[in-house]
Amino acid sequence: MKKTLFLAAAIGFAGLPVNADERVAVIRDDIVKKECGACHMAFQPQFLPASSWRTIMEGLTDHFGEDASLDEETARHITGYLAGNAGRSRGAKTAIRITELGWFVHEHNDEVSPRARKKAGTMANCTACHRGAEKGYYDDD
């Protein structure tokens, strides 16, 4: 039992959307780039599984505390792209915050100084530290 738990934890932490030295594929859809990048960096779809993206897209009128609603056609298009390029599903829980995922917490917890965190304002502000985040580079930390 103990061994199984350890294994699960190891897979959980190793369960990054890509290997650490690999680049995350960039968003190649102009509508996704524009609409998802209006208020924050457009996060690459690989960071969440399809079910999470669908949940997010269904709740745009209260998107992390703001109304980010879109017309139906645009929303459908974006959902299709996000779900079609989504990451693997991990666990039964449908996470909607990338920053709460096990691998994210593991990667950031001890590495981010209070000063860097303050400068970024929020952990959702990838480009504050990862200059190449929009191009899929997250290795510059």
Partner 1 sequence: MKLSFAPLAAALFLTAIAPASAGPDQDSVLTYFQQRADSAASPERGKSLFEARHGGGKPQTPSCTSCHGGTPSETGKTRAGKEIAPMALSRTPQRFSDLKKVEKWFRRNCNSVLGRECTAQEKSDFLAFMMSQ
> What is the contact surface with partner 1 in residues (CB under 8 A)?
39-41, 61-62, 64-71, 120-122, 124-125, 128
Q: Are 133 and 23 in contact (CB under 8 A)?
A: no
Cβ closer to partner 1: 22 or 62? 62
Other beta carbons less than 10 A from residue 96's beta carbon: 15
Cβ closer to partner 1: 90 or 108? 108
Q: Are 89 and 111 in contact (CB under 8 A)?
A: no
Q: Least distance (Å) from partner 1 to the CB of residue 106?
A: 22
Amino acid letter, residue 118: K
Nearest to 53 by CA among 22, 25, 84, 74: 84
Q: Least distance (Å) from partner 1 to the CB of residue 110?
A: 22
Provide the 8-state DSSP code for 91.
S
Cβ closer to partner 1: 15 or 96? 96
Q: Least distance (Å) from partner 1 to the CB of residue 101?
A: 17
